[in-house]
Structure 1
Amino acid sequence: MENIDSPRVRGRRPPQGDPVVDRALALLAAFDVRHPSLSLAELSRRSEIPPSSALRLASRLVEWGALERGADGRFVVGLRLWEVAALAPRARGLRQVALPYMRDLSEVTRQHILLAVREGDEAVLVERLSTQRAMPVLYYVGGRLPLHSTGVGLVLLAHAPAEFQDEVLARPLVHEPEKIPVSAAALRRTLAQVRRDGLAIVHRQAPRPLVTVAAPIFDGDEQVIAALSVLVPEEGADSRALGPAVRTAARAVSRGLGSSAALGPDPAGGRTDADGRTEVDDPGAGG
């Protein structure tokens, strides 16, 4: 795809402006969960690309199928982009192995079952199973979750490299939507407990009371590559039953991925429940 707005210079970048692929990616990045549909003016403003250029690029993306344009003139993400994204090996193989065990958990809990991986400094939800009676949640497949205040995020952060943990802990972190500051020292203790216990239980009070129970998933190299969680209303939730169920499912998925060390560590020390599981009282956590 050549640069539409700048004369082509063989073997060099265009003399002015960003490469066309960067501008096309900027258009795609303009969409998010709060902006799934954009007018040309909105697309131009959010991508910081002039309207005429945005229109030409968007039209090319529509032709390829990365975007679609409705009768009202608004743009949405196209189906072909989803088809390509579904081929991502990190999610595809993981989902194939995990789905049977996620279905088992879904049948037992009748709520939400989440599967997430770490991408940069966030968790990305690669699968979610939910029943009709499940409580409303904001998480959607392909959506991003904070590492410091969600069940799957805490598991993934706890097993991330120490340098990365230090980088995250050095930031000013807050729980959303309550805007409550996160104590780096308390978070570091929580991460240590999650590593020891092999399971995290997070209590959230906003926007509604819920409990999430998360466990790590290991690959054949015995590295934590994903986290599995159950998210249920706090009322009537039995973490003593959910913990072993989530841990068992995560171990089964790990074995399916070639792990031979999926039994998890023994609980040791810290503030845990009677079964040795980490419990975090967090008004801004979930997932």
Structure 2
Amino acid sequence: MCPGERNDEGATAARLALLLTAFRPGDSALGVSELARRTGLPKSSTHRLIGHLARQGLLERDGTGVRLGLRLFEIGQLAVRQRGLADAARPYLADLREATRNTVHFAVLEGTEVVYLDVLRGPDAPRLPSRTGGRFPAHATAVGKAILAFSPDSLVEQVIAAGLGRISRRTITAPGLLRRQLAKARAEGVAYEREESVPGVVCVAAPVLDAGGTAVAGISLAGWANRMGTARIGPAVRTASLALSRTLRG
């Protein structure tokens, strides 16, 4: 993609966002003229962009105007549920950080990556590239492996088909080895990552499971490879994930 195409896409995305955020509390349907006035966009562009949004269900026709579509409500509910997950997890994450003084992550799987819903940095832990709202390839993280180990096989194959990119010298890039690690994690309830995302850092993770035993999220603990004993820390991470799983089911 050339720079001009990227700029065009960015400008289009910005105009679409302007239209969606032009609606205010109390608004029902707005006409093209009013939306053009609020956004500062030409009426012709406003009309064209409204058509795109309406076809995706993000806006709905209402007489001569448009209103926010139900698809936006559905997307908003997903965000609320994710925020609710993070809020429910926070006490368990805080206890784990307090007990170990290492960095605790809470993440969900989206496509082939984990998305960090919360990151509590430990005072004795190394600086890590992870951040709340950030993403990382699932195969290169303990929390990604923990989630994949308790996910449908189709998700695992999707991750493998996308390519197991090398993040560090020790990243697992062989599909067979990844599958064996996931099988071991499923049997033990705990997944490990040993300097596979960041040199000198190890990580232990466990899945947060729904009533059917499928992972909905994962908790991980990261620390220095020469200080944090993964075998010793594993049970604590597993206990936190089990407790959160019970809380979410209740």
Q: TM-score range by the shorter chain?
A: 0.5 to 0.7
Contact 2:104 2:120 in 1 (8 A): yes
What is the match of residue 168 of structure 1? Answer: 159
Alignment of 1:262-273 (within 5 A): none
Q: Distance in 1 between matches of 2:212 and 2:76?
A: 25
What is the match of residue 269 of structure 1? Answer: none
Report the alpha carbon displacement of residue 159 of structure 1 after superposing the two structures with TM.
1.7
In structure 2, the CA distance between the partners of 1:56 and 1:258, relative to structure 1 (3 Å rule), is closer
Contact 1:213 1:242 in 2 (8 A): yes
Confirm or deny that 1:256 pairs with 2:247: yes
Q: Distance in 1 between matches of 2:140 and 2:113?
A: 11
In structure 2, the CA distance between the partners of 1:187 and 1:152, relative to structure 1 (3 Å rule), is same
What is the match of residue 119 of structure 2? Answer: 128
Which one of the candidate residues 213, 224, 236 is aligned to 2:204?
213
Structure 2: stretches of 5+ with no match in the other structure? 25-74
What is the match of residue 100 of structure 1? Answer: 91
Which one of the candidate residues 225, 230, 234 is aligned to 1:239?
230
What is the match of residue 37 of structure 2? Answer: none
- Normalised by the length of structure 1, the TM-score is 0.60
- Normalised by the length of structure 2, the TM-score is 0.68
Confirm or deny that 1:201 pairs with 2:192: yes
Name the amino acid aligned to 2:91: P
Alignment of 1:80-159 (within 5 A): 88-159=79-150
Report the alpha carbon displacement of residue 55 of structure 1 after superposing the two structures with TM.
6.9
- Cα deviations by residue, 1:171-199 (Å, 9 ceiling, x for unpaired): 43222144967111111111111111110
In structure 2, the CA distance between the partners of 1:46 and 1:253, relative to structure 1 (3 Å rule), is same
Q: Distance in 2 between matches of 1:99 and 1:209?
A: 27
Q: Distance in 1 between matches of 2:77 and 2:97?
A: 22
What is the match of residue 182 of structure 2? Answer: 191
1:174 partner SS = coil
Report the alpha carbon displacement of residue 87 of structure 1 after superposing the two structures with TM.
7.2
Q: Distance in 2 between matches of 1:258 and 1:241?
A: 28
Contact 2:103 2:119 in 1 (8 A): yes
Q: Distance in 1 between matches of 2:227 and 2:163?
A: 34
What is the match of residue 6 of structure 2? Answer: 46
2:140 partner SS = coil
In structure 2, the CA distance between the partners of 1:163 and 1:58, relative to structure 1 (3 Å rule), is closer
Report the alpha carbon displacement of residue 90 of structure 1 after superposing the two structures with TM.
3.2
Contact 1:172 1:181 in 2 (8 A): no
Q: Distance in 1 between matches of 2:231 and 2:123?
A: 24
What is the match of residue 33 of structure 1? Answer: none
- State the percentage of identical aligned residues: 35
Contact 1:97 1:257 in 2 (8 A): yes
| Structure with the larger helix share | 2
1:160 partner SS = coil
Name the amino acid aligned to 1:173: L
In structure 2, the CA distance between the partners of 1:255 and 1:180, relative to structure 1 (3 Å rule), is closer
Report the alpha carbon displacement of residue 57 of structure 1 after superposing the two structures with TM.
5.3
Report the alpha carbon displacement of residue 127 of structure 1 after superposing the two structures with TM.
0.8
Structure 1: stretches of 5+ with no match in the other structure? 1-41, 66-83, 260-287
Deviates more, 1:227-236 or 1:199-208: 199-208
Contact 1:202 1:213 in 2 (8 A): yes
Q: Distance in 1 between matches of 2:230 and 2:238?
A: 12
